[in-house]
Amino acid sequence: MKLGAIEAGGTKFVCGIADEKGNILERVSFPTETPEITLQKVYDFFKNKGVEAIGVGSFGPIDPNPNSETYGYITKTPKRYWSNFNLIGELQKNLNIPMAFDTDVNGAALGEATWGSAKGLKNCLYLTIGTGIGGGALVSEKLVHGMLHPEMGHIFIRRHQSDSYVGKCPFHKDCFEGLASGPAIEERWGVKASELPIDHEAWKLEAYYLAQALVNYILTISPEKIILGGGVMKQSQLFPLIRKNVKEMLNDYVQTKEILENIDDYIVYPGLGDNAGLLGCIALALNI
């Protein structure tokens, strides 16, 4: 069985083909340009490949409600050319095979629960910390949807007393994404996050904001595993700082082994590595 994946990111698209066991057979990536240019590359990749279904995980906000008139749309987004774009409708015109549609981070959460760090668990949280911040959650073996879909990157958190940075989010300024995304780090410190030394004060501040958000998610959806991906989380020195802050902020209020004894195995990097998003889309296709 051959399944297709379209990981539609705001910076790049990743397309791939895998089998039902999550073995990647082929993959390609290219920059996200205008819809016309970008989707033509998608069509060219899948032409004559014989895939039976495709999972599409997209940057958002999106409309994932099959009963909605705008199902399959990327809705209001600051990404130029893509606001109110009927992504699934356009893909179906050219590919005409069954498709599943969700946020890229919900897909990644499902991928990690199927083949990665959360395999065998009924509840997990996946966050990506990069160009933006997004979160997907699996609760009682189901991806979280409701009025729309989770927008975990835009929660409001307490500003550190030493931080006067105004915030990068074009909608909220100093929400979680506005204070802790990759572009926020770069604008605050004047260099890309990847260029900062590992002992730079930026990482203590970043861990403070990330830990605050995780505490909020722990207290609301009680995940059995928290997985942190995205470009910023390639800075492995962040993980011990985040874990330490989470324990201190919870202050023994949550009495579980995951927090008190095994936090190193509770807050982790994706088991699927850079393939979490792509295999998340494969998992979406597998569940059609």
CA gap 52, 4 in Å, rounded: 8
CB-CB neighbours of 147 under 10 Å: 5
Closest CA to 157 of 189, 184, 187, 138: 184
User: Is 182 inside a domain boundary?
Assistant: yes
CA gap 19, 282 in Å, rounded: 8
Whether residues 90 and 133 share a domain: the answer is no
CB-CB neighbours of 41 under 10 Å: 15
Whether residues 137 and 11 share a domain: the answer is no
Q: In b/e form, how buried is each residue of 124-144, taking b as 16+ CB within 10 angstroms?
A: bbbbbbbbbbbbbbbeeeebb
User: Is 280 inside a domain boundary?
Assistant: yes
Burial class, 30, CB count within 10 angstroms (exposed 0-12 / middle 13-18 / buried 19+): middle
User: Is 212 inside a domain boundary?
Assistant: yes
Amino acid at 260: L
Whether residues 175 and 251 share a domain: the answer is yes
Whether residues 167 and 85 share a domain: the answer is no
Q: Using the 8-state DSSP alphabet, how is residue 236 labeled?
A: T
Closest CA to 106 of 55, 156, 154, 68: 55
Whether residues 187 and 76 share a domain: the answer is no
Task: Supply 111's token pair.
Answer: 């991928």
Whether residues 122 and 265 share a domain: the answer is yes
Whether residues 122 and 213 share a domain: the answer is yes
Whether residues 81 and 126 share a domain: the answer is no
141: domain range? 118-269
Q: Which CATH number does the domain housing residue 279 bear?
A: 3.30.420.40
Whether residues 252 and 280 share a domain: the answer is no
From first to last of its 288 residues, what are the pLDDT tens digits of the chain? 999 999 999 889 999 999 999 999 999 999 999 999 999 999 999 999 999 999 999 998 999 999 999 999 999 887 889 999 999 999 999 999 999 999 999 999 999 999 999 999 999 999 999 989 999 999 999 999 988 888 999 999 999 999 999 999 999 999 999 999 999 999 999 999 999 999 999 999 999 999 999 999 999 999 999 999 999 999 999 999 999 999 999 999 999 999 999 999 999 999 999 999 999 999 999 998
User: Is 165 inside a domain boundary?
Assistant: yes
* Contact assessment for residue 72 and residue 82, using Cβ atoms and an 8 Å cutoff: no
Total of domains in the chain: 2
CA gap 243, 257 in Å, rounded: 14
State pTM to two decimals. Answer: 0.94
Whether residues 67 and 175 share a domain: the answer is no
User: Is 69 inside a domain boundary?
Assistant: yes
Whether residues 17 and 34 share a domain: the answer is yes
